[in-house]
Amino acid sequence: MSNSPPPADTPTPASDAWLDAIAWDANGLIPAIAQEKDTGDILMVAWMNREALRQTAQKGQAVYYSRSRGKLWHKGEESGHFQTVHAIRTDCDSDVILLTITQHGHQPSIACHTGRHSCFYQRLENPASPAPHWQAADPVLKDPQHIYSQ
């Protein structure tokens, strides 16, 4: 699967024009932010390639591109914590995707592989002191070993 757009001399199907409008990076990727519809919480940031974005739009569920595994990743395929997509937006530069989602799966609602509701659980403590540090501010809702051993 290629992450790059077709060569200039290859006609792009009209149905792909919306994908061509995206400012893909040099690796054919774009960051995607998952924001929870009901709370407004930012749950996670991941990456998408053209096929991930296409499948997300077609399925109505979040599909990302795993850079570490080099393949598409349907959110929830291993954990059971799927994301229903309500809206797909891009910013003014078309270089970031914002997904408005509902997080599903075993309760409590978990989006992070650490077993937390959100991947943004670390808060900078004492930022103006001589010793600022990151502190986990949100609890682990479920042991990750129990999530991924299903």
Predicted pLDDT at 63: 98
Alpha-carbon gap, residue 94 to 11, rounded angstroms? 22
Domains of the chain: 23-146 (3.10.20.810)
Predicted pLDDT at 117: 86
Predicted pLDDT at 68: 94
What are the angstrom distances between the C-alpha of 40 and each of 79, 93, 101, 116, 129?
Answer: 22, 22, 10, 16, 31
pTM: 0.80
38 among annotated binding-site residues: no
Predicted pLDDT at 108: 67
41 among annotated binding-site residues: no
20 among annotated binding-site residues: no
9 among annotated binding-site residues: no
Predicted pLDDT at 1: 44
Residues in the chain with pLDDT < 70?
A: 1-14, 106-108, 148-150
25 among annotated binding-site residues: no
Predicted pLDDT at 9: 47
